[in-house]
Structure 1
């Protein structure tokens, strides 16, 4: 039995207080009972699917890790000494000291981080707490402000005593040479964690890398993927949008082989390292994964008929040209099942229309509520090819 928890086990009447409501633009539904929030998301997704004429199992179900304090990754902006999110009433940063979205460890990191007096007016920061509690910060600034930070030295030195630091869009790492800071190439460290059933798997990436926002909520997602792949006893799986491997590993627990496709080279470097450093009890599985780098949205060279199942986690734009080769196959040549994960249900609905035309029907669908108090949610859909 999978370990994910259905929403019904949580108190639907729970409300989350916030001292910044209604001024903060981060949470659209703060103070709304949690049950109402879940029902609104069900209604929203049902409406999207219905409008697109996508058949879906009813009622849609919500999986949850809780109504608050989930996030282990935070993105805040700096503006004239204020560190926080934009206000609802004007384009101005609201200074935020505490946030109900943050895990206790991330809240503590934010409180310490706020003590810094920055020598510039604008910038953005990502704070992250890793699975072992380690702290990281990604600092994104204008080039002139990066130079100011490197020359000032004391702030960077202080930050590095309590966290791992990355700077700029290229995720460079500041290194002290003895008399100055120099920026060196990105480094891969364990900033996130996947799961193979109940065994945690360290994921190597950067502080700035894309990951799910919450360690706790991510376990919910991994449990669903593991359960679905294992159910089909898939021998050959192709994955699109593998990233650093968050879905690769729970799928690997139930598949004989996986072709992992991704366009971002840094992400694939992280996936390769994570495979090479699997726990000893799982190390024999690394040879079951083949890594392919390419833009799967534009050109796909793989033959779908060689696979039993598909696992897709595309960006907001959806699958785009990825589905073209699937349409060119005879129905019996198409993979038996298709797992689709999306944080943007609008593009997912468009892709599901194409999948329906290819003979797939949705067997299960979950809303994973890892963004409580907001409009956002993740969708997991399991589709099966209809028998001829």
Structure 2
């Protein structure tokens, strides 16, 4: 697994000067050398832990897939004909035609997408490029504008000539009947990949689905998860916030069984589809997993004592009431390992305080920098229960 200690090597990857650096609110650290960015994020996380009086790990490690051109998923806003990100000083969209955050394939998709003249004042778009290079777009507009888009017809026909299109919060798919466009139910396609060692696992979802932003950086995440689950031989894993299964598959590869818990029905449908489409060499993993749908942040029906590893990737709000049942168990009844992944270190730190009270200590911590040039970062933490 790559563990880059000399991050200055990546400064060479960011050769072009961003033409929007003075105005765009997307990148906050463009003027900071990449090595210093990593150290700053590491220091910020360390200070959060210290401020919460958490027992510190031996070191906070860092992983990176590069300083630029990582994103294979892009969220842009439309405002009065301008397509881009918000201005750093005011609530106004800055028109952006090139961004060094994007992978080359996504930049080309943006170039073509910008040729469309949108007859609406505001809206938002998600552009995505699949692992195999397929283009997708999710269009989110007001209902009256969605109807106008369906009636106008030409924009959708042009888009569908080279991309898969989803519309609205319900992720509907426009279908041409020969005389008009109709919206049908969401479809699952391969828009992302997980990893089991050297084998890629296709993940079925929608263009609008939540995924990590980068194919390249995501492989590093999968490698870390697999290596941590491997520390608990013959383990029984319970996963919360499984989504479409990005962490599920590397965990499954090392576990005897896994219970995947998720509230979003479309995500679980995608996970089931991915399980049914596993490559032959991984087909046995399907028999190791069970799926549970429910809001684990509010109510938990599972008994933690039946598991060896808890794997959690919660939303920004953190785990909330999810940890309450853990407090009710004796020390020996609690699972030995807790794996926690989050892009919001503040709520994560709050949860780590609770886990510390339950007898868990951080063994390994990684910062995964899949948001270079910004103040954001992913944190992966392995905790182990103190031995009684």
TM-score normalized by the length of structure 2: 0.98
CA distance in structure 2 between the partners assigned to 1:367 and 1:188 by the alignment: 31
Q: Give distance in 2, aligned partners of 1:90 and 1:329.
A: 50
- Secondary structure of the structure 2 residue equivalent to 1:133: coil
Q: Distance in 1 between matches of 2:326 and 2:6?
A: 37
Shift of 1:57: 1.4
CA distance in structure 2 between the aligned counterparts of 1:315 and 1:84, rounded to whole angstroms: 25
Q: Distance in 2 between matches of 1:331 and 1:12?
A: 45
CA contact (8 A) 1:165 1:174 kept: yes
SS at match of 2:259: strand
2:9 aligns with one of 11, 22, 32: 11
Q: In structure 1, how many angstroms separate the alpha carbons of the residues matched to 2:60 and 2:254?
A: 25
> Partner residue of 2:183?
183
Q: Would you identify which runs of 4 or more consecutive aligned residues in structure 1 move more than 3 Å? A: 12-16
Q: Distance in 1 between matches of 2:148 and 2:8?
A: 48
| Rounded Cα–Cα distance in structure 2 between residues aligned with 1:58 and 1:335 | 22
Would you say the 8 A contact 1:56–1:365 is kept in 2?
no
CA distance 1:103–1:305, shift in 2 (3 Å) = same
For 1:331 and 1:345, locate their aligned partners in 2 and report how far apart those are by CA, in whole Å.
Answer: 26
Q: Per the alignment, in what secondary structure is the counterpart of residue 297 of structure 2?
A: coil
Give the Å deviation of 1:12.
Answer: 6.0
After superposing the two structures, state which structure 1 stretch, 315-324 or 9-18, moved more: 9-18
Q: What secondary structure does 1:340 align onto?
A: strand
- Superposition deviation, residue 91 in structure 1: 1.5
Shift of 1:121: 1.6
Matching of residue 159 in structure 1 with residue 155 in structure 2 = no
Pairing 1:79-228 to 2, within 5 Å after superposition: 79-228=79-228
Counterpart for residue 69 of structure 1? 69
Map Cα deviations across residues 244-297 of structure 1 (whole Å, 9 max, x no partner): 000000001100000000000000000000001000111111011000000100
Structure 2: which 5+ runs fail to align? Answer: none
Give me the CA root mean square deviation.
1.1
CA contact (8 A) 2:176 2:182 kept: yes
- Measure, in 2, the Cα distance between the counterparts of 1:10 and 1:164: 39
SS at match of 2:373: coil
Equivalences for residues 262-273 of structure 1 within 5 A: 262-273=262-273
Is 228-237 or 24-33 further displaced after alignment? 228-237
Distance of 1:378 and 1:10 partners within structure 2:
20
Indicate if the aligned counterparts of 1:12 and 1:36 stay in contact, CA closer than 8 A. no
- Secondary structure (helix, strand or coil) at the match of 2:287 reads helix
Tell me, yes or no, if the aligned pair for 1:313 and 1:342 is still in contact at 8 Å: yes
Q: Is the 8 A contact 2:204 2:244 kept in 1?
A: yes
> Which residue in 1 is equivalent to 2:229?
229
Q: Is the contact between residue 256 and residue 288 of structure 2 (CA under 8 Å) also seen in structure 1?
A: yes
SS in 1 for 2:120: coil
Which ranges of structure 1 fall in alignment gaps of 5 or more residues?
none
> Would you say how many aligned residue pairs link Structure 1 and Structure 2?
386
Distance 2:208 2:84 in 1: 18
Query: In the alignment, which residue of structure 2 is the partner of 1:305?
Result: 305
What corresponds to 1:352 in structure 2?
352
Paired with 1:130 and 1:52, the residues of 2 have a C-alpha distance of 40
Q: Quote the Cα distance in structure 1 between the aligned partners of 2:198 and 2:225.
A: 13
2:40 is the alignment partner of 1:35: no
Give me the whole-angstrom Cα distance separating, in 1, the residues matched to 2:245 and 2:2: 20
- Helix, strand or coil: the match of 1:380? strand
**Structure 1 residue 256 corresponds to structure 2 residue 256:** yes
Q: Distance in 2 between matches of 1:107 and 1:337?
A: 41
Task: Check the 8 A contact 2:304/2:325 in 1, yes or no.
Answer: yes
CA distance in 2 between counterparts of 1:133 and 1:309 reads 35
Q: What displacement does 1:119 show?
A: 1.5
Match of 2:329 in 1: 329
Q: 1:161 to 1:5 in 2, by over 3 A?
A: farther
- Which residue number corresponds to residue 60 of structure 2? 60
In the TM superposition, what is the alpha-carbon distance from 1:10 to its structure 2 partner? 5.3
**How far apart in 2 are the matches of 1:59 and 1:8?**
16
> Given the two structures, how large is their TM-score scaled by the length of structure 1?
0.98
Give the secondary structure class of the aligned counterpart of 1:231: coil
The alpha-carbon distance between structure 1 residues 7 and 184, as it changes in their structure 2 partners (threshold 3 A), is: farther
Contact 1:201–1:278 under 8 Å retained in 2: yes
1:246 matches 2:246: yes
* CA shift digits 1:341-386 (9 cap, x unpaired): 0010001000001111111110000000000000100000000011
Q: Does residue 377 in structure 1 map to residue 377 in structure 2?
A: yes
